Amino acid sequence: MKLSRKTYAALKERVAAGALILVVAAVLAWPNLVRAQPGDQPPTATPIRHVVVIFQENVSFDHYFATYPLAANTDGSTFNPAPGTPGVNGLGTLVAGEPAGVLLTDNPNARNPANGADAINPFRLSHAQASTCDQDHNYGHEQLAFDMGLMDFFPGSVGVGASAFCDSAFAWGKGKGLVMGYFDGNTVTALWNYAQHFALNDNSYGTTFGPSTPGLLNLVAGNTYPATPSASTAKVVNIKGGRGTLVGDLDPSGDKCSSGVTIQMGGRNIGDLLNEKGISWGSFMGGFDLTVANSDGSTGCARQSPATPANGGPVADYIPHHAFFQYWASTANPNHTRPSVPPGLYGTSADVGANHEYDIHDFFDALAVGNLPAVSFLKAPANMDGHVGYSDPLLEQVFLVNVINALQRSPLWRSTAVFINWDDSDGWYDHQMSPIINGSAFANPSDTKNSDQLNGAGKCGAIAPMRDDGGQPIQGRCGYGPRIPLLVVSPFAKENFVDHTLTDQSSILRFIEDNWGTERIGNGSFDAVAGGLYNMFDFHRPASEARRLFLNPATGMKE
């Protein structure tokens, strides 16, 4: 089933927002100052009492910010940067609307004969080309694209032209060279506007290489180990005693909606640490409530929504291998049990029914009655999560803007920080070689079971891997992986600021740990070495200022 342009346009303009009646006291801002919290919530190390993590899908930094802050302004929503806007470590600039800079006009991927007929320079995808084909973002293939740091083998390694999963029309005539495409502020308008008014980091990376599930595990645990698969699979490597490291997408064991080979994670996640401290938190996922029926009558695990045109039909709202906390028995809600308390208590220990696992509509329901957990992890319904192939930047924008507009209408906004991050790069070209801070250490060099391919079969640099609590090196976690965007939207975020601090997905985990004074995850988690996010904030700002930026969800422009 193809989605008509009329239906697609209507879908982009849906606005899920409501009137919010909320009460909270204002706080004075001061770095590293501990404040008393409302109710039974423990104190925080900063004025941030509420962290909201919006975790989207499949974007490299250059794919969304290659020419920031300069847009072509030939189509889509107009974007004009504020005077003095800082540049980023991108691909280049625009001169009279034309690309300028060696990476745009004489790129190493265009000169590498190994890319064959798909060897092309980066190119701008227009607003009308928002819907594209999904690229290859497998663990080893992404490393091969890096070509030992030359960053010149993207079309040949991770480029995908027409396939069984994508109509060739949505490769836009570029074949495997589509992987070199990027958008600008005429299409990812909301994100560029958030960068203008808040803080953007251009030196942030996926914690490891690989697709969605490793990314989300790194976000909430800083670890893709130890994973116990339900059956033999190449997606769990270096298995010893039945446990190994996850390098691919597998559903969580026990989830009612899971299928195929599944995995159970060991160790701890940030939910466990927050529970130990009595701190409220929640995971809010599109499609998690199996009692809801969509307008087309779909319900349960089969709930679905209209997808982007490249998909050719609807897509399931809930994707099990995107479900942050379902992988650990301690934080799972395998049957998607509905909350046992009213929305005002969502995220608290009183809700023994949901075990902190909710639908995305529950986030808005709680916010509407003045309840915002201390820490919230948000995953959009799949058609709005930005995943190439079934979602796109325009549908993604609708979700992001609706969430942030709703938060900004609340007095709780004065003490809130929103982190917008992505799970992986989808293989999209990014020119920046990542620093390798975690490598491989095999006694037998011919052992390739860890899937690493960065600088030879079974190899990931010369850095020794981090070790688990038993002192054993953990293989299959080559990282950092590809560069991805990271934005902070908050009254305390620096304004129109580009941060160059080295960070990764687990930096968000570390911020939460430090802000609420929890322990570290341990067992070789990347949180122990993660870069800090404090340079993106100015805690000297008065909380009463509470900067807000309301955007139109369809256009991404100021309302």
pLDDT digits (tens, 9 = 90+) for 160-172: 976 666 778 999 9
Q: Which domain holds residue 178?
A: 63-189
Check: CB of residue 168 under 8 Å from CB of residue 161: yes
In the prediction, which pLDDT does 513 show? 98
Q: What is the mean pLDDT of the chain?
A: 91
Q: Is residue 520 part of a domain?
A: yes
pLDDT, one tens digit per residue, over 418-476 is 999 999 999 999 999 999 999 986 544 445 466 899 998 888 988 889 999 999 999 99
Average pLDDT in the 197-210 region? 98
Q: Is residue 380 part of a domain?
A: yes
Check: CB of residue 362 under 8 Å from CB of residue 346: yes
pLDDT, one tens digit per residue, over 266-294 is 999 999 999 999 999 999 999 999 999 99
Q: Is residue 323 part of a domain?
A: yes
Check: CB of residue 170 under 8 Å from CB of residue 56: no
Confidence of residue 509 (pLDDT cuts 50, 70, 90): very high
Q: Give the domain-ending residue among 170, 189, 208.
A: 189
Whether residue 315 sits in one domain with residue 166: no
Number of domains observed in the structure of the chain: 2
Question: Residue by residue, what is the 3-state secondary structure of 65-131?
Answer: HCCCCCCCCCCCCCCCCCCCCCCCCCCCEEECCEEECHHHHCCHHHHCHHHHHHCCCCEECCHHHCC
Residue ranges of E strands in 157-265: 181-182, 199-201, 204-205, 227-229, 236-240, 243-246, 251-252, 262-265
pLDDT, one tens digit per residue, over 101-158 is 999 999 999 999 999 999 999 999 999 999 999 999 999 999 999 999 999 999 999 9
Whether residue 41 sits in one domain with residue 108: no
In the prediction, which pLDDT does 167 show? 79
In the prediction, which pLDDT does 17 show? 35
pLDDT, one tens digit per residue, over 377-427 is 999 999 999 999 999 999 999 999 999 999 999 999 999 999 999 999 999
Rounded Cα–Cα distance for residues 152 and 158 (Å): 11
In the prediction, which pLDDT does 163 show? 65
In the prediction, which pLDDT does 36 show? 34
Confidence of residue 99 (pLDDT cuts 50, 70, 90): confident
Is the predicted pLDDT of residue 242 greater than 90, yes or no?
A: yes
Whether residue 123 sits in one domain with residue 24: no
CATH code of the domain containing 495: 3.40.720
Rg (CA), the chain: 22
Question: Tokens standing for 182?
Answer: 């990027």
**Whole-structure pTM value:** 0.92
In the prediction, which pLDDT does 164 show? 60
Whether residue 208 sits in one domain with residue 75: no
Q: Give the domain-ending residue among 189, 216, 241.
A: 189
Check: CB of residue 447 under 8 Å from CB of residue 536: no
CATH code of the domain containing 134: 3.40.720.10
In the prediction, which pLDDT does 2 show? 43
Q: Looking only at Cα atoms, what is the longest distance across the chain?
A: 63
